[in-house]
Amino acid sequence: MHTSTTSTVTLEPWTALQLAQATQGHWHYAKVPEGPIKRILTDSRHAEQGDAFLALKGERFDAHDFIVQVASNGCEVAIVSHPVDVDICQLVVEDTRLALGHLGAYRRAQNPQLKVMALTGSSGKTTTKEMLGSILSRLAPTLITRGNLNNDLGVPMMLLELRPEHQYAVMELGASHQGEIDYTSNLVQPQVAGILNIGTAHLGEFGGRDGICRAKSEIYAHIAKSGTSIVPIVDDFSDVIRGAVQTEKVMSFGQGGDVFASEIQLQAQSASFDLHTPHGVRHINLPFAGAHNVENATAAVAFALSIGIGLDDIVIGLENATGAKGRLNFISDKQHLFIDDTYNANPTSMRAAAEVLAQQTGIKVMVVGDIGELGATAAQQHYMLGRDLVSVNGIHFVVAVGEFAPAMQEGARSTQYGKKLQAFLTQEQALPFLFSLVETHQPQSMSFLFKGSRYTHMETLMADLMEKL
């Protein structure tokens, strides 16, 4: 298991006493490190002198087995759930996973000046987080969730990066099981928090959208009483979400809410709209494509207003925001356009990506990998996706890759557009077909969009095709 901070900044050091206080642990044989501890790491490959290695234990691994290795690399401190026969300072705690949470909570409590926003949802979390980060980081030092550090291990790892100069924190909270968001939102203690939407991501773990809604709604339990709950208006579960709110102050976004967009103009790689807020109306030129990103922008505005940010600063931040890597990144290569949307996928975001591709020029090809974590509904969900993607007006070809590609092909064949979709079990099989498409349509320009769940590594197929052209 390698969940680790990869921060490039100097972190706040820890004393031996602070570590023991935070984790409620004890130093084995009273052997205590003398100097400050510069970092707490869970990745044995990076632990060195001055670090404390925290040994996590899972179903298929036990990082206690790596303590000999980290000691040989110069690391002199380990946080363990049981002592190990190694000459190293060992802080013994009841449970190392919970100890990591305690350390994150301790750091959060050390920074009472912090204004914390926490957000969750089935899709749009990363982009909304990046928009918020763009608004806030112009104004003051801001901690923003990095990569996928949004679960019960990643959130406390992010909190460990807090420093006294931070004024804002934007925390993305994900969930793969009931109770996870209750746990992480309790760690971050937000003043403003909310749900973006209830979709079909992680459908398998929660047994349906009702379960997803219950899991996500846990975020409202730990907002400061004087804080604000953010709620979506245009969502099937908006009434249920409202029922979970525990604060007096509520800010809604979406058509009919406190913050919404009108006069929306969707361009190939951007969007423009009139932003309506309780503080007035502003025109926004958004450097993100797709109607779903206009919705993400209104959510980001609701969060920013609730934390006290002025409308002028919000506009500047939105108009200068950049997307996260693998989130609708537009790459021009020769006469072709490649859209890298490979960071992750769920059925909702897959359909939204198709609409963005349809806005582009030339021959439009959508290359999709499997969507994970759909449980027993996986085949049915891929069938419906195949049916819907080939039906998007303007898309010429859909190339499905992976275990569920045949299910997508079945779905496509249930429509009059069945011939649009080609199915392949592996990337190696798909690559020659993609190359032949380019050769067949020369000298026409082509627009390719690549998307799939993280584990499918669709960026590899994109890179292979670009190299071959």
Binding residues for ATP: 121-127
- Residue 284 in contact with residue 318, Cβ under 8 Å? yes
Q: Is the peptide bond preceding residue 443 cis, with omega within 30 degrees of 0? A: yes
Phi/psi at 169 (5° precision):
-140, 135
- DSSP codes joined into one string, 407-440: HHHHHHHTSTTGGGEEEESSHHHHHHHHHHHHHH
Distance CA 166, CA 159 (A): 11
**DSSP-assigned beta bridge partners for residue 37:** 14
Residue recorded with tokens 């909310």? 194
Cα dihedral 146, 147, 151, 152 sign: negative
- Please report, in range form, the residues annotated as the binding site: 121-127
Distance CA 78, CA 70 (A): 9
Phi/psi at 443 (5° precision):
-90, 20
- Residue 401 in contact with residue 426, Cβ under 8 Å? yes
**What is the CA angle 347-349-353, rounded to 5?**
115
The strand pair at 363-369 and 397-401 is best described as parallel
Alpha carbon 352 to chain centroid, angstroms: 16
The strand pair at 115-120 and 228-232 is best described as unpaired
Amino acid at position 445, single letter: S
Burial 71-109 (b: 16+ CB within 10 A, else e): beeebbbbbbbeebeeebbbbbbeebbbbbbbbbbbbbe
Over its C-alpha atoms, the chain yields an Rg (Å, rounded) of 24
Cβ contacts of 365 within 8 Å, gap of 6 or more: 395, 396, 397, 398, 399, 434, 437, 446, 447, 448, 449
- CA distances 252 to 11, 21, 217, 248, Å, are 36, 40, 15, 13
Cβ contacts of 184 within 8 Å, gap of 6 or more: 118, 150, 151, 152, 155, 171, 173
